[in-house]
Amino acid sequence: MADDVRKIATGAQPPSAQPAVTGANQARVDSRAERARRTAYRGRFALLYFLLAMIAGIAIGATIVLVGRGSPAPAPPWSDWQPVGSAQRRTAQIADRIAGTYRLPTGHQLDTVTYAGPPTVTGPDGTTFQVRAIAVRPDTSHGAAEANDIDSFSADGTVMYTLCGLGDRCAIGEGQASNERGALLRREALELGLYTFKYVDGVSSTVVLLPPRPDGQAATAVFLERGDVKSQLSRPLDQTLTAPLTPGIGEMTDTELQTVEGITRPRLYQYSYLQAQDGSPVMVLDPAIGS
């Protein structure tokens, strides 16, 4: 009884008499939770926007740098001049242009190209036959190859140039034959080959028939396959043939002479013809040892 009196006096209520959570109170609790969730979402979105802004800033900065630097400089052209038109026209243009730049000490042209096209041979009666194959005999002088190690090539994809001097029987009519003149002729053969490989599609090899000696002996040719000059075709021509103008006899620099000798000397041949079993002519190339 006394305890009940004290409870009433102090206004305390038993646990069962505590006020229940009303709908308004629950709404306030829910509202605080919702605000907490929204705050968390806003934080996440703010972080995402910040990252996107950083990425956009980096992209804009990179664009400004690239624009400031400008486009990369185009690769230099392989040559200052190039032929145009069909394969046949390009071959003829190459022949005329290259041969026209090679001169004798008198100023006369060193030689002229009398033929440019698929390999052919003229018979005794003047009939022209197309060469179907090229047979290359090995150099046996060093014992590294046997005489029967003959490489045969289809003449399809081969361009032949015939160089003719302005003397008797296509020989060079002025001056005397010399190592210096021979090197200049082989430089011409190399230049013809390089231009042909670079600008005429479908060419796998070139054979350049050099002017014969006045006595008609030792008919020689430079035979090049595309793979022989792969590195020279991958860089501008003036890095291979370095003279700004075509040199004269004995005027090549040591560096250029070394390049010409290194490429053409091992590919200098004496040439002849034989008849295959089907009657078609075959060009036979024998290493021109000591030429």
Q: What is the pLDDT of residues 164-199, one digit of tens each?
A: 999 988 999 999 999 999 999 999 999 999 999 999
Identify the pLDDT of residue 17. 46
In 3D, which of 126, 119, 144 has the Cα closest to residue 221?
119
Cβ-Cβ contacts under 8 Å for 92 (sequence gap 6 or more): 116
Confidence of residue 139 (pLDDT cuts 50, 70, 90): confident
Cα(177)–Cα(214) distance, rounded to whole angstroms? 9
Return the H-helix or E-strand segment holding 43: helix 23-69
pLDDT at 282 over 90: yes
Q: Where does 63-204 show beta strands of DSSP type E?
A: 112-117, 120-122, 128-130, 133-136, 151-154, 158-164
pLDDT at 138 over 70: yes
Least confident of 69-78, 226-235, 264-273: 69-78
pLDDT confidence band for 79 (50 / 70 / 90): very high
Paired residues of 120 in beta bridges: 130
Give the pLDDT confidence score for residue 50 in this predicted structure: 63
- The tokens for 259 are 């390049």
Q: Which residues make Cβ contacts (< 8 Å) with residue 91, sequence separation at least 6? A: 83, 116, 117, 159, 196, 200
Question: Using 50, 70 and 90 to split pLDDT, how confident is the model at 250?
Answer: very high
> How many residues appear in the chain?
291
Cα gap 259→269, rounded to integer Å? 18
Tens of pLDDT, residue by residue over 53-76, are: 677 667 665 556 555 565 667 788
* Average pLDDT estimate for 216-227: 90
The model's pLDDT over 15-38, given as tens digits with 9 standing for 90+, comes to 444 445 455 555 555 566 666 566
Determine the pLDDT at residue 5: 38
Q: Quick one: pLDDT at residue 114? A: 96
Under the banding of pLDDT at 50, 70 and 90, the label for residue 254 is: very high
Cα radius of gyration rounded to whole Å, the chain: 43
The predicted structure's pLDDT at residue 120 = 96
Determine whether 18 is exposed, middle or buried from the number of CB atoms within 10 Å of its CB (0-12, 13-18, 19+). Answer: exposed
| Domain spans of the chain, in order of start | 1-74, 87-287
Percent pLDDT > 90 in the chain is: 62
